[in-house]
Amino acid sequence: ITKQVNRELLRCSALLPLAHPECLERADNALAIAEEARACHLISKSQFHRGLALMELKRYKEASDAFTKAASVRDWSGKVWSWKNSAERMV
């Protein structure tokens, strides 16, 4: 499961600088895999990447929501809040 999620997120990361819509699709794929496996840390990681993709697509409200979901797991909260604040400033 971890390898599948990370493969999708790596593809997302490669497309991120291009603001390509497929980046969000890859993050969504990773999220679906993680949710099916009920792997909380991978769900958070996928939501974080969704937030990054949504930021690049200038969908700031959705990005903020994704970052909030990513921060729901304690280990990710410190990494996520600055990105969430950036998204909210853009709304």
Residue 60 sits in a domain whose CATH number is 1.25.40.10
- Residue 78 vs residues 10, 48, 81: alpha-carbon distances, Å: 22, 12, 6
pLDDT at 76: 58
Mean pLDDT by 10 residues, the chain (91 residues): 97 93 97 93 94 95 92 65 78 75
What is the tally of structural domains in the chain? 1
Burial of 7 (0-12, 13-18, 19+ CB in 10 A): middle
Determine the structural domain holding residue 37 and report its residue range.
2-90
Q: Which of 36, 75, 67 has the alpha carbon at shortest distance from 50?
A: 67
pLDDT at 79: 65
